[in-house]
Amino acid sequence: MSRFSDTIAKNLVERFGTLSALMRASKDQLVEVDGVGEVMAERLRTGLEWLRTQLNMDNRK
């Protein structure tokens, strides 16, 4: 996942609260977070999808 500032990380936590909620967030919801633009939202979605895949693979073991 791309790196982003502590401020943006804090804003994401304040908006979504949990990793599960963040993983369910749409691109449009991510863009609503202060400091997150279209490009960052797309990168976040890509990174979160990769994480979801990894977690699913671990659960199959």
Residue of 57, 60, 16 lying closest to 36 (CA atoms) = 16
Q: For 19-59, write each residue's pLDDT tens digit.
A: 999 999 999 999 999 999 999 999 999 999 999 899 887 67
Give the Cβ contact number of residue 21 at 10 Å: 13
Three-state DSSP state, 33? coil
Q: For 25-36, write each residue's pLDDT tens digit.
A: 999 999 999 999
> 18 pLDDT exceeds 60?
yes
Domain 6-52 sits in CATH at: 1.10.150.20
